[in-house]
């Protein structure tokens, strides 16, 4: 039995099984009984879902033995895990690369080493950063869907008006720019140079941007190392310089991310950390905005960190115990072909995880900085979400610590020590559970 935590909740399981049976009825229509139907669950919606549906349609039309039933599932990751535990998984599900440890440790997904070898889906086919995030404990557990890297986006008009002709290269240069650009009138902030809370999606990454490690890869939490402490001090400097209430009040006036009132899109924040997808939203909600992007700045005394970025990607996994394994493998191999992958990535306006790209792929890209985002995934300083299944809890602890430092209820040193002290026992307990499962043969 695949395990979800220590207790399997019968009511939740029953609800999920019921939902699965409902989707089974919709995904295996009676009008085409000659084909083998495979279920593919994704969390995509809108234009991202449409882009993948176009790939699925091509596959369904080009052969007559397999039919892919594509379903957009709200809360797809949790429902996939529970359906696997109930013995009724889809053949394929779309996850985030950061979820591989949880699903692998639960025994919910297959190791794909042999499948990759048999289908030529080997390391040399993929951009290094995107291949690396699929590896866990020496095995390949997934295949790439659409990837992303993260960069500092900046409003060129705002920087120019402040006397700057280029983006900051170091943290110290960025701090200087922030101090000059950030404007307070009559006691109220009216312009921000940079806000670490906007959008605030990668709070775990501030330490790694300063060269910190979140754990040793084995059994020790290292959040209180000097680099993570330095990042916490940098984060806390914003409250000291501009006042926590001031910053909070200013950010509260922003609209939702996908809107013209987004802080960066509205021209109220000069610089912001965002992913390759940001150009889509600029084009939609603020088409006259003049912008550019560069790798996130590095500490002046750490030039060895130059060109660092977060790498992440949506991934395809093969569920253990699925009904039609061989058919699912054929579809996965098709998705990894260059025509299918480029069609998907162009439809979602993202980079391709494949090393080789056609001239047509580059020519059709709408993001003027797409090659930057592609190149950053090759960087020796590209880093990903730590491969640790308790990362959701760790992320929550880090976010709480950042809040306490911003409120100045904890010093940066107290904050990193607190997170380390709280997470170390959780890691040790998790490792004991894994070892017990291993010995029990589960």
CATH number at residue 325: 3.40.190.10
In a domain, 434, yes or no: no
Is 7 a residue whose pLDDT tops 50?
no
pLDDT (mean) for 345-371 = 96
- Measured from the Cβ of residue 398, the count of other Cβ atoms closer than 10 Å reads 24
- Token couple for 325: 């394994």
Q: Is the dihedral of CA 161, 167, 172, 175 positive or negative?
A: positive
| Degrees, nearest 5: CA angle 286-288-293 | 80
Domain boundary among 383, 416, 437: 383
Domain boundary among 364, 383, 402: 383
Is residue 285 within 8 Å of residue 260, measured between CB atoms? yes
Q: Residue 30 above 60 pLDDT?
A: no
Residues 297 and 377 in one domain: no
Q: Does 141 share its domain with 162? A: no
Looking at the predicted structure, is the pLDDT value of residue 10 above 50? no
Average pLDDT, the chain: 93
Q: What are phi and psi of 120, to 5 degrees?
A: 70, 25
Give the mean pLDDT of 312-320.
Answer: 97
- Residue 344: band (very low, low, confident or very high) from pLDDT cuts 50, 70, 90: very high
**Exposed / middle / buried, residue 79 (Cβ in 10 Å: 0-12, 13-18, 19+):** buried
* Residues facing residue 71 across a β-bridge: 41
Strand segments, DSSP code E, in 173-286 are: 183-185, 188-194, 269-275
Domain count, the chain: 2
Instruction: Clarify whether residues 257 and 398 are in a common domain.
Output: yes
CA pair distance 73, 335, nearest whole angstrom: 20
Q: What is the pLDDT of residue 32?
A: 66
Residue 322 has pLDDT above 60, yes or no: yes
Residues 38 and 92 both lie in one domain: yes
Tell me 219's DSSP state: S
Look at the block and give the residue holding tokens 């960066």: 264
- Regarding whether 233 and 175 lie in a shared domain, the answer is yes
pLDDT digits (tens, 9 = 90+) for 253-276: 999 999 999 999 999 999 999 999
Predicted TM-score of the model (pTM): 0.90
Cα–Cα distance, 223 to 215 (Å, whole number): 7
Residue 3 within a domain: no
Residues 124 and 300: beta-carbon distance below 8 Å: no
Residue 187: pLDDT band with limits 50, 70, 90:
confident
177, 279: one domain: yes
pLDDT in tens, 372-405: 999 999 999 999 999 999 999 999 999 999 999 9
73 has a pLDDT exceeding 60: yes
Beta-ladder partners of 193 = none
Residues 200 and 143 in one domain: no
Task: Examine the domain organization and report whether 190 and 339 are in the same domain.
Answer: no
- Indicate if 23 and 139 belong to the same structural domain: yes
Residue 438 lies in a domain: no
User: Within a domain: residue 440?
Assistant: no
Across the range 222-233, mean pLDDT stands at: 98
362 and 259 within one domain: no
Please list, in sequence order, all residues whose beta carbon lies within 8 angstroms of the beta carbon of residue 234, skipping any fewer than 6 positions away.
171, 206, 210
Residue 206 lies in a domain: yes
Are 91 and 126 in a shared domain? yes
Domain with 175, as residue range(s), is: 150-310+388-428
Mean pLDDT of 324-353: 97
> Is residue 17 predicted with pLDDT exceeding 60?
no
| 244 and 156 both lie in a single domain | yes
Residues in a beta bridge with 148: 312
Task: Identify whether 98 is part of a domain.
Answer: yes
Pull the structure tokens for residue 375.
């190149």
Question: C-alpha angle with apex 55: 53 to 60, nearest 5 degrees?
Answer: 90
Q: Does residue 288 lie in a domain region?
A: yes
């Amino acid at each position: 039995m695949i395990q979800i935590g220590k207790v399997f909740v019968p009511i939740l399981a029953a609800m999920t099984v019921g939902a699965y049976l409902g989707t089974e009825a919709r995904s295996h229509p009676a009008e085409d009984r000659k084909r083998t139907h495979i279920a593919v669950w994704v969390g995509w919606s809108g234009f991202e879902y449409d882009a993948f549906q176009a790939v699925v349609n091509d596959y369904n039309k080009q052969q007559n033995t397999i039919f892919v039933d594509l379903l957009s599932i709200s809360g797809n990751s949790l429902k996939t895990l529970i359906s696997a535990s109930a013995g009724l998984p889809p053949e394929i599900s779309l996850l985030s690369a950061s979820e591989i440890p949880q699903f692998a440790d639960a025994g919910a997904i297959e190791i794909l080493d042999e499948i990759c070898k048999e289908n030529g889906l080997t390391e040399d086919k993929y951009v290094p950063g995107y291949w690396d995030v699929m590896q866990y404990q020496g095995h390949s557990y997934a295949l790439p869907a659409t990837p992303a890297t993260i960069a500092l986006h900046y409003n060129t008009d705002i920087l120019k008006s402040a006397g700057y002709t280029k983006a900051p290269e170091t943290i110290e240069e960025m701090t200087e720019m922030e101090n000059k650009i950030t404007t307070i009138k009559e006691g109220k902030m009216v312009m921000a140079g940079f806000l670490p809370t906007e959008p605030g999606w990668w709070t775990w990454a501030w330490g790694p941007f300063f060269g910190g490690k979140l754990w040793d890869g084995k059994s020790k939490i290292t959040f209180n190392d000097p680099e993570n402490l330095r990042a916490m001090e940098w984060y806390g400097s914003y409250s000291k310089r501009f006042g926590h209430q001031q910053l909070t009040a200013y950010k509260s006036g922003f609209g939702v991310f996908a809107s013209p009132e987004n802080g960066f899109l509205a021209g109220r924040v000069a610089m912001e950390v965002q992913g390759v997808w940001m150009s889509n939203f600029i084009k939609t909600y603020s088409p006259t905005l003049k912008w550019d992007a560069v790798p996130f700045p590095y500490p002046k005394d750490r030039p060895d960190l130059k060109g660092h970025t977060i790498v992440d990607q949506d991934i395809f996994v093969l569920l253990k115990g699925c009904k039609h394994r061989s058919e699912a493998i054929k579809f996965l191999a098709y998705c990894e072909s260059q025509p299918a992958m480029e069609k998907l990535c162009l439809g979602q306006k993202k980079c391709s995880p494949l090393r080789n790209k056609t001239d047509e792929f580059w020519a059709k890209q709408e993001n003027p900085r797409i090659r930057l985002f592609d190149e950053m995934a090759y960087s020796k300083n590209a880093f990903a979400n730590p491969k640790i299944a308790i990362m959701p809890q760790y992320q929550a602890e880090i976010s709480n610590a950042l809040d306490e430092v911003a409120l100045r209820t904890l010093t940066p040193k107290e904050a990193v020590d607190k997170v380390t002290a709280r997470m170390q026992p959780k890691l040790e307990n998790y490792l004991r559970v894994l070892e017990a499962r291993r010995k029990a043969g589960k």
